[in-house]
Amino acid sequence: MLQDMNPRTPKTHRIMPQTRRRGNRRYRALVYWFAVLMVAVFGTIAADGLHKGAGIPYVVSTVFFALAVAVIFFVWHRSEGTLSTHSITPSPARPSTGPRCWPPSRSGLPPAT
């Protein structure tokens, strides 16, 4: 059965049950290292695109991305009090925070928020 009839929701999210989407919470080495590999490949492509497409030297893009990661870690540490991944606890499932647009109202206008 379809889970969500909102036309803006990706088809995979409408078809797959909620528990399937969140996935298994246990550590899987193959999945982890595949994600690490994909991040490395994307980073290389992004750096090459900036270097060859925009003429930005590798040193400048390296410093930029290093600062971006430092800011992310700083914000994470301020909000969580630690950078340890062992302290991450998943939040309970909650309904979508966006406005409800489907099904449309009888007037054809979205409901007032």
Residue 24 CB-density burial (10 A; 0-12 exposed, 13-18 middle, 19+ buried): exposed
Q: Are 66 and 73 in contact (CB under 8 A)?
A: no
Q: Where are the domains of the chain?
A: 26-83
Separation of alpha carbons 6 and 109, rounded Å = 15
pLDDT-based confidence at residue 113 (cuts at 50, 70, 90): low
- DSSP per residue over 46-59, as a string? HHHIIIIIH---HH
pLDDT, tens only, 76-90 = 889 888 888 777 776
Burial class for 47, CB neighbours closer than 10 Å (0-12, 13-18, 19+): middle
pLDDT at position 7 is 59
What is the pTM for the complete model shown? 0.48
